[in-house]
Amino acid sequence: MTQPAPPPTPGGSPLVATALTKVYGTDQATTHALAGVSLTIHPGESLAIMGPSGSGKTTLLHCLAGILTPTSGTVAWRGEDVATLSETRRTVLRRQDFGFVFQSGQLLPELPAVENAALPLMLAGTTRAEATAVAARWLAHLGLAGMEQRRPGELSGGQAQRVAIARALVGSPGVVFADEPTGALDQSTGAEVLDVLTHATRASGAALVVVTHDAGVARHCSRTVTMRDGRISGEFRADPTRSASPTDQGAVR
């Protein structure tokens, strides 16, 4: 398969979170969703974030991606602190440097697949003709040639997630954030979509951060961190010489 995006910049900079905390609520009822998380995500790596419900996975993802402002701590990205940027600058950063894949329902139902995939480029000012041409190449790259004009309602769940992956990658982001990207799919479709997500992201040179409950997802990633009560409770690196699962891991933090 030919790579439709420009070649990745060699090297690139890591995303570095330091001592992140996030407290939700008021004085009467507070939740310490993040209680001091430090994490470095390197260019080209794929990181799975696992842990029980309520352990802070989505909150961490949203703080890393500039969707949420942490209560304290920093998120360093290409010389800026994502945590303290203005909302306007964060919006630009999210559009230009980051890609997003969520569980489902993220595509605009009235737009054909190619326009859904082209959206980040059009929002960044690329002409419609150029944006849809790049998006069509991504769709073909992800196995959706011939489906460019279908609306989301005319696609299977797995095909719709491939469109979402094309949309996440079309702007050549530095980091792709995915929150339960296969959560709405059956097991075999989910595995296929995950394969597409991890391979396409790696080929584009971007890092991938995936929140998941599924150990099968984590097995596709080069590293897994587990969370408990707002903290990182364990870390596991994939060993390319054997098939392993996060349950094998030893806690390193």
Ligand X SMILES: Nc1ncnc2c1ncn2[C@@H]1O[C@H](COP(=O)(O)OP(=O)(O)OP(=O)(O)O)[C@@H](O)[C@H]1O
Interface residue with ligand X, options 39, 41, 59, 170 (CB under 6 A): 59
Of the candidates 39, 35, 48, 47, the residue with the CA atom closest to the CA atom of residue 18: 39
233 lies in the site for ligand X, by CB under 6 A: no
198 belongs to the binding site for ligand X (CB under 6 A): no
Considering only 56, 99, 181, 246, the residue that binds ligand X (CB under 6 A) is: 56
**Closest to ligand X by CB, 53 or 86:** 53
Distance CA 48, CA 81 (A): 23
Nearer to ligand X, 59 or 204 (CB): 59
Among 1, 9, 19, 25, binds ligand X (CB under 6 A): 25
Cα–Cα dist 28/13, whole Å: 41
224 contacts ligand X (rule: CB under 6 A): no
Output phi, psi for 171, to 5 deg: -95, 15
Question: Does residue number 28 form part of the binding site for ligand X (CB under 6 A)?
Answer: no
Identity of the residue, 181 or 205, whose beta carbon is nearer to ligand X in the bound complex: 181
User: Cβ–Cβ contacts within 10 Å for residue 37, how many?
Assistant: 25
> In the stretch 114-133, what mask flags binding to ligand X with x, by CB under 6 A?
--------------------
DSSP calls for 42-101: -TT-EEEEE-STTSSHHHHHHHHTTSS--SEEEEEETTEEGGGS-HHHHHHHHHHTEEEE
Q: What residues make contact with ligand X under the rule CB under 6 A?
A: 24-25, 31, 33, 51, 53-59
